[in-house]
């Protein structure tokens, strides 16, 4: 595997960052998870734009321009002979001392990994997931805006551990008011009486690229969709539920906390959205 690291393409075994990098020491950095489909980097410009927004929010100067970021991302895919895969683009604050002083970090570090990922076994995309609500609450947006896709993922990791302990592959995270924020790694949607609902970013949800794609697909298909506060009750009593994310793509949920969602099968709205999504991923984005 070839990795792009701070201006060079190096073997994965040689791709190393310093133990003094503040991305490692303090989670001080931002990242994007991006998908490659049949040689097309899906919505790459949108991903890079979100990276820029995240970096601006934490006062981190990106070392490359937007076009340069696009170029190195595509080149990393080419160097690994990939046609389908998963890309992780990471920017850290860089090397500094052991104190909380990001201004002492001389320059940021940037690396791009292009490889493979499988979030869930294939059968769950066909039959649906059974998920749970985890005890760990999502960080309040007033403390850390969920719109910043930062390296601070311990909140999500704790939720993921709790989901696994309960025998589930994914878990819903509530905010401090008891409303659904998102899952540990995915955005959540429900379908009720023909309308699609999803939590707003103000409730702790990441503004996902795949999430945005669902809004576009729903509009084109004439399916009403809107942001709304959701509780677990809304999922239990929904006709359908599904999750989205760059890694997860679009995956149906058929059970939450032991309650069957709908008829316990992936619903027709979810299937329509998924079918349209699979067509878009090969044509919306940047060809490598």
All domains of the chain in start order, with CATH: 2-115 (3.30.470.10), 122-280 (3.20.10.10)
CA distance 80 to 32: 19
In the predicted structure, residue 117 carries a pLDDT above the cut 90: no
Cβ burial of 115 (10 Å; 0-12, 13-18, 19+) is middle
User: Do the beta carbons of residue 54 and residue 150 sit within 8 Å?
Assistant: yes
- pLDDT value, residue 175: 96
Compute the average pLDDT of residues 67-92. 98
Q: How many CA atoms lie within 13 A of 195 on its CB side?
A: 8
Overall residue count recorded for the chain in this entry: 288
φ and ψ at residue 33, rounded to 5 degrees: -105, 120
What is the greatest pairwise CA distance in the chain? 57
In the predicted structure, residue 212 carries a pLDDT above the cut 90: yes
Among candidates 104, 109, 120, which has minimal Cα distance to 160?
120
Mean pLDDT value across the chain = 97
Tokens representing 27?
């989670």
Q: Give the Cα-Cα-Cα angle 39, 40, 46 (nearest 5 degrees).
A: 155
Concerning whether 149 is annotated as a catalytic residue, the answer is yes
Helix (H, G, I), strand (E, B) or coil at 236: helix
Determine what percent of the chain is predicted with pLDDT higher than 90: 97
Given 16, 56, 149, 193, which residue is catalytic? Answer: 149
Angle between the N-to-C axes of helices 66-79 and 44-57, in degrees from 0 to 180, rounded to the nearest 10: 120
Whether the model pTM is above 0.85: yes
End-to-end CA distance of the chain: 17
Compute the average pLDDT of residues 188-207. 95
Strand partners, 111: 5, 90
The pairing of strands 171-174 and 240-245 is: unpaired
- pLDDT value, residue 119: 80
Q: Which residue has the tokens 């991302």?
A: 73
In the predicted structure, residue 118 carries a pLDDT above the cut 90: no
């Amino acid at each position: 595997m070839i990795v792009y690291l701070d201006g060079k393409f190096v073997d994965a075994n040689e791709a190393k960052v310093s133990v003094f990098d503040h991305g490692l020491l303090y989670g001080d950095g931002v990242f994007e998870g991006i998908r490659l489909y049949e040689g097309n980097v899906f919505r790459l410009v949108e991903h890079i734009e979100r990276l820029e927004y995240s970096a601006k929010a934490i006062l981190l100067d990106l070392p490359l321009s937007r076009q340069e970021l696009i170029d190195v991302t595509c080149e990393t895919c080419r160097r690994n002979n990939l046609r389908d895969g998963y890309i992780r683009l990471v920017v850290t604050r860089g090397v500094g001392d052991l104190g909380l002083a990001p201004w002492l970090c001389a320059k940021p570090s940037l690396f791009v990994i292009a490889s493979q990922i499988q979030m869930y076994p294939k059968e769950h995309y066909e039959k649906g997931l059974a998920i749970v609500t985890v005890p760990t609450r999502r960080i309040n947006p007033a403390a850390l805006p969920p719109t910043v896709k930062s390296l601070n993922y311990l909140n999500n990791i704790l939720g993921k551990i709790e989901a696994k302990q309960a025998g589930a592959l994914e878990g819903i995270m509530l905010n401090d008011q008891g409303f659904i924020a998102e899952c540990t790694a995915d955005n959540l949607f429900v379908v009720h009486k023909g309308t699609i609902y999803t939590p707003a970013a103000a409730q702790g949800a990441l503004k996902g690229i795949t999430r945005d794609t669902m809004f576009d697909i729903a509009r084109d298909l004439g399916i009403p969709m809107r942001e709304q506060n959701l509780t677990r009750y809304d999922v239990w009593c929904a006709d359908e539920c599904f999750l989205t994310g760059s890694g997860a793509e679009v995956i149906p949920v058929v059970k939450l906390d032991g309650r069957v969602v709908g008829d316990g099968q992936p619903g027709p709205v979810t299937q329509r959205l998924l079918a349209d999504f699979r067509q878009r991923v090969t044509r919306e984005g940047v060809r490598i």
